[in-house]
A = this chain, B = another copy of it.
């Protein structure tokens, strides 16, 4: 296999975070050192606002990202402002996809035929940050999202930047709860009754770091690993993701 075909995968430079905001934190503040390192040498990125948390407008959501990234000396342009978003993606130096509703995000990316363009740009080595829904689309498919199916996407397939799925905002069962709805662990078990893709339950404060072919768990917490037919287990921060 010629070296050139290995190069894209070797170049990956990706952060997939469970959440944008920690309890009592402000938007992205806990990720600032990580963001500085991720986007080193980059002065302008494209923000993908399609997940629209709480139904916020693309403009308002982009303004929120713009304000934060100014503190890191990075200019932000919303993908929705380009006449030709596919070309914009090919010309961009880096990307950030914010959280919100994963169904909305995936529908928009597929409908505008941007999912593959974005995947190719990130696999060529351009830095990518995702939070929550923006991290879900880094996985093989969006089928371990926690979100409500408020729209019908033409496909559940996502970028597959990593060879597994993420369950963001992972929550442990709450001891003594009177609520009878399924726990997160039960939901992922149901996913594995139909799918073989491993799932990383990523608690708020954790993120996945991809540098070339090395994929590690970062942040203060352990992550819960789910593999089809196996008992779930905890992975320590700093560890290489074993898939």
Enumerate A100-123 residues with CB–CB distance to B below 8 Å: 100-101, 103-104
A179 x B171 contact (CB < 8 A): yes
Contact of A181 among B142, B171, B187, B192 (CB under 8 A): B171
Interface residue from B179, B195, B204 paired with A150 (Cβ < 8 Å): B195
Contacts of A145 in B (CB 8 A): 148-149
B191 and A148 within 8 A (CB): yes
List of B residues within 8 angstroms of A149 by Cβ = 103, 142-143, 145, 149, 156
A23 at the interface (CB under 8 A from B): yes
Residue count of chain A within 8 Å CB distance of chain B: 44
Within the complex, what minimum Cβ distance (angstroms) separates A132 from chain B?
Answer: 8
Which single member of B22, B142, B151, B179 contacts A194 (CB below 8 Å)? B151
A242 CB–B CB distance under 8 Å: no
Q: Which of B101, B103, B148, B180 contacts A21 (CB 8 A)?
A: B180
- Interface: A182 (CB within 8 A): yes
Q: Is the CB of B143 within 8 A of A180?
A: no
A155 interface hit (Cβ, 8 Å): yes
* Cβ contacts under 8 Å, A191 to chain B: 148, 150
Q: How long is the Cα–Cα vector from A156 to B154 in the complex, in angstroms?
A: 12
- A interface: dominant SS: loop
Cα distance A204–B191 when bound, in Å? Answer: 24
Chain B residues with CB under 8 A of A152: 143, 155-156
Q: Which of A36-44, A47-55, A79-87, A214-222 contacts B (4 or more CB under 8 A)?
A: A47-55
Whether A55 and B169, one on each chain, are in contact in the complex, defined by CB atoms closer than 8 angstroms, is no
Q: B181 to A169, Cβ gap below 8 A?
A: yes
Decide if A29 is an interface residue (CB 8 Å cutoff): no
Interface residue A186 (Cβ < 8 Å from any Cβ of B)? yes
Q: Given B19, B103, B178, which contacts A23 in the complex, CB threshold below 8 Å?
A: B178
**Pairwise interchain contact B190-A150, C-beta atoms closer than 8 A:** yes
Q: Is A188 among interface residues, defined by CB-CB distance under 8 A?
A: yes
A231 at the interface (CB under 8 A from B): no
Interface: A224 (CB within 8 A): no
Given A142-B149, A150-B187, A151-B194: 18 more A-B contacts, CB < 8 Å: A22-B180, A52-B190, A53-B182, A54-B189, A100-B190, A103-B149, A104-B190, A143-B149, A143-B151, A144-B148, A146-B181, A149-B156, A150-B191, A150-B194, A168-B181, A169-B179, A169-B180, A180-B204
